[in-house]
Structure 1
């Protein structure tokens, strides 16, 4: 069942009209119709939260991450639906394809900073075993990190990677956890080729 189909079923099960739900979520009835019939599939996270709140269910249920019969209520405080991107470049708007592929409920201690947090699907093993291929990382967008922290980094305005960042005198080093990958060292004027996009705050690994 799709996200739109779940919205429609829960709405109908609770005898709620499209008009009432649309008005409560500050969208048009036509937009809700497009949600429910999969014409619009990338539903904004704030609308998912409004729809879930009005239908008295969790956003995770709307997204299909929990079964209604076995649903465990999510914490009602400081949990926000944050977008998941399929590449670092997409998540930071480095390339044109910046549409989220999913949303994840995320606990954020400072609600005013929720828009700074995004999830990224990780491809490759350069940071394994700390961050395995297929993992998701939660990144807080910020322009700098401390030496030794793991960050999303842009190199030469085109290559976005996840690396441990080390600072020395006039030097920036990007280190992989996997020893198969040698460090990348940028010295003197070359340090300007490296731009910090955000700090990796959390890693979510699949158990399958």
Structure 2
């Protein structure tokens, strides 16, 4: 059993999360999770590690040994901190966590207030807020989530998640892979029920990056 397999088993059992429950939380098949824990799968994909860490409420890098194993703590609730310094954003419309969602502004009057600390010194006009529709990015993004998107026309790295317009009128949020100097772009869902979509050749002229998600707002 590898170190990461051992850590996964220890943390999952300490948190009393069954493999079936973890499968539902991550979208990863129970049999695949079993292979991760037993070491039958020698190299666990980084995407899967990210989803497992998020589902188990672990800091990024914990399963890779970059951080110590968390230990169960008695649940306590800190006093909330209240900041009056917020910026109000209109929720301009929808962004598809799927395919074939038209890129159009449809403001219904809904707004969200974002603490200014999350803007990192940038101006309000550098951002937009859109509402997630669909489940191709589940469990990272849920139907109805609002996403604060930093406007920019390029992605920082291949494999980043970005807001993309393609076919001149369809908008989606996806993990995006590309190779510098090559004439293609691949849109990759997190939800394994959806297939990646590759855009290449002349179709790239009708594709553009809107920006990158910086903050997720989810109501419970």
> TM-score, normalised on structure 1?
0.56
Higher RCO structure (Cα 8 Å, ≥6 apart)? 2
How many pairs does the alignment contain? 133
2:198 is matched with which residue? 185
2:99 is matched with which residue? none
Distance 2:108 2:126 in 1: 16
Residue 84 (structure 1) aligned to one of 83, 91, 97: 91
Alignment of 1:67-82 (within 5 A): 73-76=82-85, 79-82=86-89
Q: Which runs of 5+ in 2 are unaligned?
A: 1-79, 97-101
> TM-score, normalised on structure 2?
0.53
Alignment of 1:102-181 (within 5 A): 102-107=111-116, 108-146=118-156, 147-168=158-179, 169-181=182-194
Over the aligned positions, Cα root-mean-square deviation in angstroms equals 2.7
Quote how far apart the aligned CAs of 1:103 are.
2.7
After superposition, the Cα gap between the structure-2 partners of 1:86 and 1:95, relative to the gap in structure 1 and judged at 3 Å, is closer
Larger proportion of helix: 1
Residue 104 (structure 2) aligned to one of 95, 100, 120: 95
* Structure 1 runs, 4 residues or longer, greater than 4 Å off: none
Q: Which runs of 5+ in 1 are unaligned?
A: 1-70
Asked if 1:206 is matched to 2:219, the reply is: yes
